[in-house]
Structure 1
Amino acid sequence: MKSNVGRTERIVRTIAGLVFFALGATWWRGFYWIAAVVFFSGLIAWCPIWSVMNISTCKETETEEIPVNSVSTDKDKRIRERRFK
């Protein structure tokens, strides 16, 4: 499962989930379901609706091609670490 929710949106979703939870405790109990979906999509950084619509708010990281027959350098190691996290 590839992340499709960016950092800022994760923070907003997590806070909104807590707000909906509080609304569920005071007003309409249906807010609990909304709170659960919004809060957990913020925690796991994946939204099923964004996935269906093929939308991603994550920043694209630049990837550099590493030549196959080259001597490994520190820069190459950093690129590989970033690519395979």
Structure 2
Amino acid sequence: MAILLELDPEIESRLIAQATAQGISPEILLKTLVEGLLANSSQPAPLKLSSQERAERFVNWAKSHKKITAPSLSDEVISRESIYTREDEML
């Protein structure tokens, strides 16, 4: 596939200089850069969901955390006083 690009003179001269420094043609350098850019952007485009679909996905995500069997933290452990006491002890 052939594509015609109109580059600003500054960009064109930088492309030519970089290609020359690497010992390749500007066309090869540009092809390599585009291939690398496309390979790195393999993330799918974000889905456009309705409010209802987003809400359903959120609820499903929240329900998936019910499987976690870690013990709950006690009120004592997460109290403000307990947190500040532990911070003071670390100093």
Structure 2 length as normaliser, TM-score?
A: 0.25
Greater RCO (CA < 8 Å, at least 6 residues apart): 1
Higher radius of gyration, 1 or 2: 2
Q: TM-score, normalised by structure 1?
A: 0.26
